[in-house]
Amino acid sequence: MAGRKETILEITENRKLSSTIDNDVIKKPVADYYGMNCFNDEAMRKFLPYNAYLKLKKIIKEGENIDGLLAEEVAHGMKEWAISKGASHYTHWFQPLTGLTAEKHDSFLSFSKDGLPINRFSGKNLSQGEPDASSFPSGGLRATFEARGYTAWDPTSPAFLVETSNGATLCIPSVFLSYTGEALDKKTPLLRSMEKLNDVALRMLHLFGNKNVTEVNSTVGPEQEYFLIDKLYFNQRPDLMLTGRTLFGAKPPKGQEMEDHYFGSIRERVLIFMQDVEARLFKLGIPIKTRHNEVAPAQFEIAAIFEGSNVATDHNQLIMETLRKVANRHNLALLLHEKPFAGINGSGKHNNWSLSDSEGSNLLEPGRTPHDNLQFLTFLMATIKAVYKYSDLLRAAIASAGNDHRLGANEAPPAIISVFLGEQLSKILDNLEGNKKTDYSDKDLIDLGISNLPLISKDNTDRNRTSPFAFTGNKFEFRAVGSADSVSPANFIINTIVCSELDDFANKISSNLKKGMDLNKAVLEVIIPVIKETKPIRFEGNNYDPAWEKEAEKRGLPNKKTTPESLKDYLAPKNIEVFTKTKILNEREIEARYQILLEKYSKTINIEAETALSMARTMILPVAIKYQSILSDAVGSLSKVKGADPKVVAHQVKSMNSYSGLVVDLDKKISTLAVKLKKAVDIKDEVKKADAYCKDVLPATFALREVADSIELQTDDSLWVLPKYQEMLFIY
């Protein structure tokens, strides 16, 4: 393999800027081709019998089962559409608990009774699939000897085509279930949570007299951060290839302190890459809006316009996959890991969340009248109460080995979940809380500031970038989701807990109404105590300030710094209760998820430790020994020179000893890590095992890294094998 110098030369001299956008869309107005690779309304209308089209639309909107005849008609139309665009195969596209997406392709090829080849795609092929899925993790839900799990079509997320230069594959978004109907994936609980939240939110809106509303949807707009480096570096770094992050690498003299990257002008190579990515996503009907440079060097962001949570989640998976595929075509490597480089910012995903109704209203948008704003405050307080009561669960929703490096590292919110509301809204809540009146005419509401809400401008509210759960004018922004993770867990958990609190609010409000209270009073009697109760979760200050940790502890807010510690909260009785009561997960499903996430954590740290050991032994220690022998040869020959100044010789011996000391230390740290790793590997109990990886193995990898990085800074650059930070981050 080429050395570092050749790599840099290759990148700077020979990388050609070349577009890979398909000819059919290059330089066309986006609106002309937007959604052409997705079975959207236009395609449905064209390829389905009119009645089938109407029935399908109704089912997508209102739920209900798809009968055999309709499935047959839709399958036929979908196939004709796909074939007209060059598809030969189809696949159920689903999201197993590993966090990636899965697919198994089948061709449309079939044979007629008289043996003639035909393109066939039946209603059954569309509705249900049976991947040979015994190797997907199920956390014990489906013993591997047992029958396989099955995938089932999710008609609420549009089917789409994945293209290569050789043709296309029809992808059918699907859930993945065990034969006993238990969720083996990330989509199922999200769909369940949307349905339950819809029921409860509708009930609430009806209490407020909004009888026309027929549906409430949770909406999500994720902002996706990522790094790009040249593929040649990536291929020379086993740590990046196997773990997604650098396990070694000294901090470069320049990192992000000049703040010259954020929103800076985008390099042409990257811009061409982004345009390629976007063209493909537009074809898939994914509403990409924003692109920019992020804070760290070589870090970028892509954001889509918000959609219903299920579709937004599928689209975020497709965005990540497309980024990866297109990067490869551009000789770039995509790094989605939460912390690919130590010492500079990592990547996350800002998960913007709100609720919208069938009338097009955003339920977290303040209104124009006291009545509207009372409704707004009800949804707001139910959300705040949910976050307060289940902040441990929200923390668990985003727990991963990767995200542990990022949370609380002065670049991302800490592991303490708190809510930021902004000055105006805080003031209104304070007014309500301090209010002594027991009567609530519309005039009183106006006096309490409730009519001022429409004046809240987004600029006023979005200033606190350090808050993990910030109200930003008409939505909440959950800023702690990891960049590599699916947004599904965060969202099905937000939906679940908000659903549970809204349900409680609705029960209390209707019982107040039954007692004869008017609506204002019935509502305020419920929400004012919640304003008082949830005060500890509200925090307007700097979340990165160490003082906040102490303050949060006083307030009794949980602060689970590591994944194994946080994951345990899935099993807390109140958390099991909220899932089972809302029927979003049953006890076995929760337990299974906990097991899978815990095992995933241990496996991740195990791979990191094995990789660190192998790199230290084969790529760092040998270089260090080589340089040590160069040093000692130099000192040896110097001391043999007649008339050499003994002081100079002594000085050089000292330097050499200091370097050799590092080499010895490196060797020791390698042994320590090996011993700790062996111990963790041998532990049978999964909980204890994860703890050992967290508390013993991980710190040992850090200790090893520290010595290796010191050695890097003192070793002849021409001997160093691994691409260095300053090269990966700045030369591309």
Binding residues for Mg ion, per CB under 5 A?
350
> Closer CB to ligand ADP, residue 497 or residue 697?
497
Query: Of these partners, Mg ion, ligand ADP, none, which one is at the site of residue 220 (CB under 5 to 8 Å by kind)?
Result: ligand ADP
Task: Give me the least distance between CB of 413 and ligand ADP, in Å please.
Answer: 14
Task: Give me the least distance between CB of 92 and ligand ADP, in Å please.
Answer: 28
How many Cβ atoms from other residues are within 10 Å of residue 264's Cβ?
12
> Closer CB to Mg ion, residue 45 or residue 289?
289
Closest CA to 564 of 588, 609, 599, 590: 599
Query: Of these partners, ligand ADP, Mg ion, none, which one is at the site of residue 462 (CB under 5 to 8 Å by kind)?
Result: ligand ADP
Written as one letter, the residue type at 714 is: Q
> Closer CB to ligand ADP, residue 54 or residue 305?
305
> Closer CB to ligand ADP, residue 85 or residue 292?
292
Task: Give me the least distance between CB of 300 and ligand ADP, in Å please.
Answer: 14
Q: How far apart are CA 225 and CA 348, in angstroms?
A: 6
DSSP state of 568: G
Task: Give me the least distance between CB of 365 and ligand ADP, in Å please.
Answer: 8
Closest CA to 41 of 56, 51, 19: 56
Which residue has the closest beta carbon to ligand ADP? Answer: 221
> Closer CB to ligand ADP, residue 462 or residue 665?
462
Contacts for 223 with CB less than 8 Å, ≥ 6 apart: 290, 301, 302, 303, 349, 350, 352
Q: What are phi and psi of 340, to 5 degrees?
A: -70, -30
Closest CA to 488 of 156, 177, 130, 218: 218
Task: Give me the least distance between CB of 173 and ligand ADP, in Å please.
Answer: 20
Task: Give me the least distance between CB of 725 and Mg ion, in Å please.
Answer: 28
> Which class for 62: exposed (0-12), middle (13-18), buried (19 or more C-beta within 10 A)?
exposed
> Closer CB to ligand ADP, residue 366 or residue 449?
366
Task: Give me the least distance between CB of 263 and ligand ADP, in Å please.
Answer: 11
**Hey, what are 159's tokens?**
């089917």
Query: Of these partners, ligand ADP, Mg ion, none, which one is at the site of residue 474 (CB under 5 to 8 Å by kind)?
Result: ligand ADP
> Closer CB to ligand ADP, residue 365 or residue 503?
365
> Closer CB to ligand ADP, residue 379 or residue 594?
379
Task: Give me the least distance between CB of 13 and ligand ADP, in Å please.
Answer: 37
Closest CA to 503 of 207, 187, 219: 207
Only one residue has tokens 């809380």, namely: 433
Only one residue has tokens 């020979």, namely: 14
Query: Of these partners, ligand ADP, Mg ion, none, which one is at the site of residue 652 (CB under 5 to 8 Å by kind)?
Result: none
Query: Of these partners, Mg ion, ligand ADP, none, which one is at the site of residue 418 (CB under 5 to 8 Å by kind)?
Result: none
Bridge pairing between strands 419-420 and 469-471: parallel
C-alpha neighbours within 13 Å on the C-beta side of residue 604: 24
Q: Point out which residues pair with 220 in neighbouring strands.
A: 307, 353
Interface residue list for ligand ADP (CB under 6 A): 219-221, 223, 303-306, 352-354, 362, 462, 472, 474-475
Task: Give me the least distance between CB of 478 and ligand ADP, in Å please.
Answer: 11
Print burial letters for 560-575: b (CB count within 10 Å at least 16), e (below 16): bebbbbbbbbbeeeeb
> Closer CB to ligand ADP, residue 281 or residue 698?
281
**Element spanning 55, H or E:** helix 50-62
> Closer CB to ligand ADP, residue 9 or residue 305?
305
Q: Point out which residues pair with 491 in neighbouring strands.
A: none
Q: How far apart are CA 74 and CA 72, in angstroms?
A: 6
> Closer CB to ligand ADP, residue 223 or residue 565?
223
Contacts for 622 with CB less than 8 Å, ≥ 6 apart: none
Q: How far apart are CA 712 and CA 707, in angstroms?
A: 9
Query: Of these partners, ligand ADP, Mg ion, none, which one is at the site of residue 528 (CB under 5 to 8 Å by kind)?
Result: none
In contact, 232 and 10? CB cutoff 8 Å: yes
Task: Give me the least distance between CB of 201 and Mg ion, in Å please.
Answer: 24
Q: How far apart are CA 242 and CA 611, in angstroms?
A: 7
> Closer CB to ligand ADP, residue 134 or residue 474?
474
Task: Give me the least distance between CB of 256 and Mg ion, in Å please.
Answer: 19
> Closer CB to ligand ADP, residue 357 or residue 501?
357
> Which class for 95: exposed (0-12), middle (13-18), buried (19 or more C-beta within 10 A)?
buried
Q: How far apart are CA 373 and CA 453, in angstroms?
A: 7
Query: Of these partners, ligand ADP, Mg ion, none, which one is at the site of residue 715 (CB under 5 to 8 Å by kind)?
Result: none
Task: Give me the least distance between CB of 30 and Mg ion, in Å please.
Answer: 22
Q: Point out which residues pair with 92 in neighbouring strands.
A: 172
Task: Give me the least distance between CB of 549 and ligand ADP, in Å please.
Answer: 26
Q: Report how far Cα 445 is from the mean position of its chain's Cα atoms.
A: 40
Task: Give me the least distance between CB of 285 and ligand ADP, in Å please.
Answer: 15
Closest CA to 133 of 173, 188, 92, 189: 92
Query: Of these partners, Mg ion, ligand ADP, none, which one is at the site of residue 306 (CB under 5 to 8 Å by kind)?
Result: ligand ADP
Query: Of these partners, ligand ADP, Mg ion, none, which one is at the site of residue 237 (CB under 5 to 8 Å by kind)?
Result: none
Contacts for 716 with CB less than 8 Å, ≥ 6 apart: 627, 630
Q: How far apart are CA 510 and CA 515, in angstroms?
A: 9
> Closer CB to ligand ADP, residue 157 or residue 352?
352
Task: Give me the least distance between CB of 402 and ligand ADP, in Å please.
Answer: 22
- Helical packing angle, 187-207 and 309-329, nearest 10°: 140
**Hey, what are 179's tokens?**
């034969």
> Closer CB to ligand ADP, residue 353 or residue 725?
353
**Alpha helices (H) along 534-644:** 546-554, 563-567, 573-581, 587-615, 621-640
Q: What are phi and psi of 482, to 5 degrees?
A: -75, 150
**Element spanning 304, H or E:** strand 299-304
Task: Give me the least distance between CB of 281 and Mg ion, in Å please.
Answer: 19
> Which class for 142: exposed (0-12), middle (13-18), buried (19 or more C-beta within 10 A)?
buried
Query: Of these partners, Mg ion, ligand ADP, none, which one is at the site of residue 234 (CB under 5 to 8 Å by kind)?
Result: none
C-alpha neighbours within 13 Å on the C-beta side of residue 233: 26
> Closer CB to ligand ADP, residue 245 or residue 261?
261
Task: Give me the least distance between CB of 289 and ligand ADP, in Å please.
Answer: 7
> Closer CB to ligand ADP, residue 198 or residue 219?
219
